[in-house]
Structure 1
Amino acid sequence: MPIRTREWQLAARPHGEPTPDDFRLVELERPDPADGQIVVRMLVMSVDPYMRGRMNAGKSYAARWEIGETMKGGAVGRVIASRSPDVPEGALVLADAAWRDVAVLDAAHVRVLPELPGIPPSYHLGVLGMPGLTAWVGLFRLAEFRAGDAVFVSGAAGAVGSLVGQFARLKGASAVVGSAGTPEKVRWLTEEVGFTRAFDYHDGPVADLLTAAAPDGIDVYFDNVGGEHLEAAIGAFKEFGRAALCGAISGYNATEPVPGPRNMFLMVSKKLSLRGFIVGDHADLRGEFIEQVPPLLTSGQLVVRETVREGLDDAVPAFLDLLRGGNTGKMVVRLAQE
């Protein structure tokens, strides 16, 4: 018999900041799985800043969502029916099929996850998933981090930024400075996560705040924010500074082109390297990442925090809150209890 699902669809393309009217929750009937397919009950889904770009009509590195299409993103679920010998019933799987409670999927399009004692399924969407690998790739490959480097991270209290700072500290950074959007996030970074210094970017010009936090300058910048933060980092760099450009959330809802840094001439005199990247181009580092990060997690050397919202109905509010900085650590939406 057909499988009933609840799914979020894109109802309209936003102009500026998205609103709830840009989304629509529908009930659909999906056919029984064919040979090679599985039925997955979603346990937890991810909302991520990059999803804002998928709402636009223009070309982006991730395929855009079409009007009336059920949206996609990372989710972890349990297989409740299988017509594939490769993915048995009961398996825990990672799929690009978030924004719904149940999905009928081709078995070839999911990855079977290991059952890790004491590790919540949601960690496969955060510290052990795309955000964790993004932090690893950006810091070690793109920014070419070396022991003794002074590191600055924008959006430091988010899923990626909080891990960048910890990886740098654990690998011998001389200083780790972060920016965040609330006093509570600043305290979390310095008192629990292990950042050397942190500041609330609302407290003044970012360039002044960064100079006060890193008076000797920085060697590495991991950029999640862009705009004023990128300009401040360029000003604070020592010679041969390196930046990994991961995101620019400060401009995601802009309706006009965002001005670039006004001090780009310093790239020449300081001999800087600024490199943008998409984590999907660096899948060859996943083996190294999976080898080194889980032991840091199980030993307690990594601090992980999640902002958890409950139920599929709360997926859109969670996403909108994420774009406004309403998360500390990884934002996830729990869809079902095990």
Structure 2
Amino acid sequence: MKSDDLSPGIDRRTLALNLILLPFLSTTLPSSPIKAQTTPNAPLASWNEGAAKQAILDFVRATTDQGSSKFLPAEDRIATFDQDGTLWVEHPIYTQVTYCLDRVSTLAAEKPELKGIEPFKTVLSGDREAMAKLSMHDLETILAATLTGMPVEEFEADVKNWLDTAKHPRWKRLYTELTYQPMIEVLQYLRTNGFKTYIATGGGQDFVRVYSQRVYGIPPEQVVGSMGGTKFGYDKDGKPFLTKEPKLLLNDDKAGKPEGIHLMIGRRPNAAFGNSDGDREMLEYTGAGDGARLMMLVLHDDAAREYAYGPARGLPDSKFGTFTAALDDEAKKNGWTVISMKNDWNRVFTFE
């Protein structure tokens, strides 16, 4: 059964931690503004004219113009991006959670006895109300049973196969088609101007690495995510391989994001993009550096084209991608740019 239209009552931080415990599971620059181009081939073509688009253009101009006091050598140009809710859709439930729940039917086919055991029985029933009431312990049980002990190559192949067929319940499109076109343009624009783009996600690092190159143009070695341990061993023919283990190495959410950035990248970003309270510390860490800085948050305020949730600015509350009033206040205080999906983007997806 497909469970992608479910929203179990769990918060992002706890979920990110458990996904990896069971891993198989701006300040506006004081420069004269650039007149943005509007032709289809111009940078940021899916962005409406406004402060958000101009902030990106000004930042790139200041950091790449050798005559600028804020010029950055190419090796220092680092930009980090949250994934869920910043680069692709995170509602009604995180994509990786959907993947894990969908694997229950595969597991039950291999172990029929699970069909009568909770919480597998509930997941297999298709009863959405009952599934929404599953506890964190229930989810941990599901994650452990479906994902623990898989060799790395087997996990990667399984995720790829799932992404090739699984579709979002609202748009009936592959999840990899539900990336935000304006953000894809930002990635491309920064790379064109010598920036190295990284993903810094609370989701599973190995999960995102399966598709990051083809979907975002970001190679797997530039994905920083919540990560679990692996164990080296040999198969029956003596070939070495790695098995994923339920051992937490990094919970790449909240304070874990700057920690992971330091461990995996070794440089403080000059630009950081997020959308929720889980990205706060990454933006704070980015903004604490010297020189030109760009910190941006995507606000989901477009229920017609995507979703509307906050609860900042009177939007509905959400357990996924929570954007609180406190975060909004900090953005205003620190000069971070809040991107309005409704007002700043003239389209959300490529297929529009």
TM-score by structure 2 length? Answer: 0.32
Name which structure has the greater RCO, CA cutoff 8 Å, separation 6+.
Answer: 2
